[in-house]
Every structure is written in C-alpha cells, then in structure tokens.
Amino acid sequence: MERLYPSIGMPRSKWIVATIFIVACGSISTAEATPAPSLEEAFHTASTQWVGPLQQAATWLLLALATISLVWKFGVLALQNADFQEFVVELIRMVLSTLARP
C-alpha cells in the first residue's frame, strides 16, 4: 500500500510523475518561439484598421451611458426638490468625470 501525502491525498508515484511532467513542460516553455514575420505584419496591419471604428463605437457608448446617467440623476434630483445649485454641481461633476481622459 502506497503512502498518501496528507495535504495532497495523492500516491507518491503519481506525485513523482506529476513533478517530472511539470519540470519537463517548464524546460520546453523556456525555448524561444517567435511568430513568422509575415504573420506578425499581417496582424499589425489588421489591428491598425480596428482602431478607428472601435474607438468611435466606444466613444459613442460612453457618451450614451453618460447621458442616461445624467438624465437619471436629474430625475432623482427633481423628485427630491433640489435647488438649482445642486443641478449645476451634478452637471459639472458628470462633465468632468466623463471628459477626463487618463
């Protein structure tokens, strides 16, 4: 009967096989693998074409969600009978947080 490791619950022979497998995979993964230059250039060319449409869609989504949030906040302020100053503060806070770019 093989002794089980208490913290793992696996027989010693399986533990040794798993360790050898992990070590072998680690040594294989250290070999340098470089993609073909044509593949890298093709991906770079394709990715430069994504930037424009993707950024336009993201900007539109950001502004749409900010507008929905602002309308919701103004609705809540109107239901709370907030004064003009609170509306202006919320508007400035929303504009600064939306237009601030990292």
The predicted-structure confidence for 43-100, as pLDDT tens digits, reads as follows 888 888 888 889 999 989 988 998 999 999 999 999 999 999 999 999 999 888 887 7
Q: What angle do CA 83, 88, 93 make, to 5 degrees?
A: 130
List the domain boundaries for the chain. 1-33, 36-99
Q: Coil, helix or strand for 4?
A: strand
Whole-angstrom distance, CA of residue 42 vs CA of residue 49: 11
The predicted pLDDT at position 76 comes to 93
